[in-house]
Amino acid sequence: MQAQAEIPGMERYSPLSAHWVDSRDFAVLLAVCDAGSIRRAAAGLGLSPAAVSKAVRQVEARLGGPIFERSTAGMMSTVAGRDLLEAARQALHQLDTARQCFQQRANMIEGQVRVGVGPMAAGVLASELLPEAARRWPGIRIHVECSIPATLMGGLKQGSSDIVICALEDQDVPAGFVGHRLQVLQSVVLAAPSHPLAGRPVLDWPDIAGFDLAGFGSNSRFLNWYRERVGVEARLPFIVTDIENLAQTVLRSDLLLFVSRRMAQGLGSRYGLIQLPLPGPPFRHEVHCTAPREASPAVAAIAALIRETMLLIEE
């Protein structure tokens, strides 16, 4: 086998060579140049002055000449050192730009994610999760459908949704999916200021037995809880998925509305709905995120962000 001819001078570029100067060395040199002294450069780098001084001396020894002129006023680059440091500054900037471009391309995730969401979680999804998803992964397109849990889980089973955020009380998690509990919300009861119960300072649960409910739907756990607390079966003649429509309807009627305390604050400020003074313990509503066990990169990224944004916010 014929040996390859060595390129003259190539040994100086080998990381194993005694003449090698890497990017960390140049970063130290530039810090000294910008700070004008070993001590100030060391403080900025989080190193000891002795370590910085040693690093400068070692680089100068490897290159065979002084990079800085030492004086009582500090450190000033020599003419040759100035040219070297300017070239190093440009090279480090190019390397950092290349690193950022690589990371963006390596982490680029594209695709469409269809998210089904219940009304109680829709506000957090719109105000927090969607803007953050757009910032992190501009190549992911998110389509959101707001509905009741039964419809949302049906869409998940049929393949029209990738991720669903809703309660799972009466729903089965489809095969191949997993449900993660995100939030536990305590419900309060809202009514219009003109409601017959609005002016009473003290109420008990049987007092609301004569009034119908408006809401997003119901599940067996809520219906059982309501029956035990109020003493009658719950009647829900008005069920919608639009929270603004729901609030306006309650404002103009004697319907009562069960919502989380956080949602109640917003509805109270926007529509003047008031919380009835009912005793605890309240109904606890659980919100889950149901996502595939094995998902595309886009779906996995959004599912992880949902858990990061909404995980176990307990009221």
Is 3 within a domain? no
The pLDDT value recorded for residue 3 is: 44
- Cα first-last separation, the chain: 76
Residues 90 and 144 in one domain: no
Residues 90 and 208 in one domain: no
Query: Residue 202: how many CB atoms within 10 A of its CB?
Result: 8
Which CATH number does the domain housing residue 118 bear?
A: 3.40.190.290
The pLDDT value recorded for residue 300 is: 92
Domain boundary among 87, 105, 123: 105
The pLDDT value recorded for residue 206 is: 96
Is 1 within a domain? no
The pLDDT value recorded for residue 148 is: 83
User: Which residues span the domain enclosing 81?
Assistant: 12-105
Residues 85 and 129 in one domain: no
Residues 130 and 85 in one domain: no
Residues 173 and 235 in one domain: yes
The pLDDT value recorded for residue 140 is: 92
Dihedral of alpha carbons 209, 210, 215, 219, sign? positive
Is residue 272 a contact partner of residue 283, using CB atoms and an 8 Å limit?
no
Domain boundary among 53, 73, 105: 105
Residues 250 and 220 in one domain: yes
Residues 67 and 190 in one domain: no
The pLDDT value recorded for residue 45 is: 87
At what angle are helices 23-35 and 38-45 packed, to 10 degrees?
120
| Tens of pLDDT, residue by residue, the chain (315 residues) | 444 444 344 344 444 444 578 888 999 999 999 999 999 999 888 889 999 999 999 999 989 899 999 988 889 999 999 999 999 999 998 988 887 777 666 667 889 999 999 877 777 788 888 899 998 888 899 999 988 888 899 999 999 999 999 888 888 888 899 999 888 888 999 999 999 999 899 999 999 999 999 988 778 889 999 999 999 999 999 888 788 888 999 999 999 999 888 889 888 999 999 999 999 889 988 889 999 999 998 999 999 999 988 876 555
Which CATH number does the domain housing residue 44 bear?
A: 1.10.10.10
Residues 101 and 212 in one domain: no
Residues 264 and 166 in one domain: yes
Query: Residue 16: how many CB atoms within 10 A of its CB?
Result: 6
Residues 219 and 286 in one domain: yes
3-state secondary structure (DSSP) of residue 216: coil
Dihedral of alpha carbons 13, 18, 23, 25, sign? negative
Domain boundary among 81, 105, 129: 105
Is 2 within a domain? no
How far is the C-alpha of 215 from the C-alpha of 132, rounded, in Å?
29
